[in-house]
């Protein structure tokens, strides 16, 4: 990432939440938000955001968790926001965005803060598999894990991987209308520019994207899918299984809220949306998109083979919005998480009145679930 070093986030934070930098975190200067930082005796919680999010995505739950006695830490992860030291070039160091290295970032942040253990690592969206890797690899440091909005299906079975039964991309392209998976679109060179320089402007693009994946959009009525087939995946909304020749900005544009609806959005008022728009206008999206490239290229799956047959052994829980299609976008993952991936699974909780951005749409309900889990 090039350009002048940004300052800490100066405004838009709730009372009791501060912004600062932590140096020498796996090669990064990491920007973090903190709450409940008054004393070292407080147990720590590490909150990991997803795409396209920031540490700021946790602003609504941080004061609630801090008031319950926790030191709450939320970083801008590698590729995002005011954290620097990462390579944002499409032709740059993509491998540094592998899940194993993102877990290393989390581990080194914990150590840099003078901790040797956190009570829980909590990950949302693409932060969920990062949290899962943290708990899988270093259970001595990450004492429990909460996965949010993206189920973790677990490690591969021991032995050679079975080849796919068919080419899902060719099958989707053969549908009428032809479709493609959003993860593979996010892995293409044009994706960053398509969103950063969206025809409607980055602010309007993000408003449409966040609205379309929230409980505010009436088209979100998720249900389990029959399997990993083109016909089943085509039941997902267009922001997951996109029109073959479309970019994401034009895909979500027809789903944008009206000006009146946007003005009435309590969970993401215009000033808060402006924080996201300002940060992504400055940094672009390529850092976050490189996470997807590590997934679609198979790098993450190859790394995870080292833990073949192993389950997450610390206590685990899943939270998502009841209107979140992300719960079902990988058919079978929700069930695999409960039955195989987590040895001490404490249940799945779907929050009413929330879609994909569950900790922003219903922060009190999410905090209540987290505190009940931690209280066990």
Give catalytic residue positions. 125, 356
Instruction: Look at strands 28-35 and 17-25 and give their pairing.
Output: antiparallel
**218/27 Cα distance (integer angstroms):** 43
**3-state class (DSSP) for residue 49:** coil
- Report in angstroms the alpha-carbon separations of 162 from 123, 166, 198: 29, 12, 40
**154/309 Cα distance (integer angstroms):** 8
Beta carbons of 265 and 40 less than 8 angstroms apart: no
Could you tell me where the beta strands, DSSP code E, fall in the chain?
17-25, 28-35, 44-48, 71-75, 120-124, 145-148, 179-181, 241-243, 312-321, 342-351
Closest CA to 144 of 204, 78, 213, 70: 70
């Amino acid at each position: 990432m090039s350009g002048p070093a940004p300052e800490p986030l100066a405004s838009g934070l709730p009372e009791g939440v501060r912004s600062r930098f932590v140096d020498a975190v796996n090669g990064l200067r990491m920007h973090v938000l903190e709450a409940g930082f008054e004393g070292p005796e407080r147990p720590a919680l590490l909150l990991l955001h997803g795409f396209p999010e920031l540490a700021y995505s946790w602003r609504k739950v941080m004061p609630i968790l801090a008031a319950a006695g926790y030191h709450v830490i939320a970083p801008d992860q590698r590729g995002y926001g005011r954290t620097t030291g990462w390579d944002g070039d499409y032709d740059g160091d993509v491998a540094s965005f592998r899940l194993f290295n993102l877990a290393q970032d989390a581990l080194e942040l914990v150590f840099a803060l003078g901790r040797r253990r956190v009570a829980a690592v909590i990950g949302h969206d693409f932060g969920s598999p990062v949290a899962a890797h943290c708990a899988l690899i270093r259970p001595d440091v990450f004492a429990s894990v909460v996965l949010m909005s993206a189920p973790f299906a677990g490690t591969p079975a021991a032995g050679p991987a079975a080849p796919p039964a068919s080419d899902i991309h060719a099958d989707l392209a053969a549908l009428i209308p032809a479709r493609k998976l959003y993860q593979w679109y996010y892995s293409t060179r044009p994706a960053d520019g398509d969103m950063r320089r969206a025809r409607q402007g980055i602010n309007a693009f993000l408003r449409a994207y966040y609205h379309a994946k929230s409980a505010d959009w009436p088209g979100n009525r998720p249900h389990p899918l029959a399997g990993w087939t083109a016909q089943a995946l085509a039941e997902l909304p267009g922001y997951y299984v996109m029109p073959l020749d479309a970019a994401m900005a034009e895909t979500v544009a027809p789903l944008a809220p009206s000006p009146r609806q946007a003005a009435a959005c309590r969970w993401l008022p215009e000033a808060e949306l402006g924080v996201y728009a300002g940060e992504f206008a400055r940094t672009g999206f390529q850092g976050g998109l490189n996470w997807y490239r590590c997934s679609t290229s198979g790098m993450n799956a190859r790394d995870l083979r080292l833990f073949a047959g192993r389950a997450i052994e610390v206590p685990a829980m899943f939270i998502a919005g009841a209107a979140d299609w992300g719960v079902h976008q990988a058919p079978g993952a929700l069930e695999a998480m409960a039955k195989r991936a987590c040895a001490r699974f404490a249940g799945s909780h779907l929050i009413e009145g929330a879609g994909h951005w569950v900790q922003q749409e219903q922060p009190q309900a999410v905090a209540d679930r987290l505190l009940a889990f931690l209280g066990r």
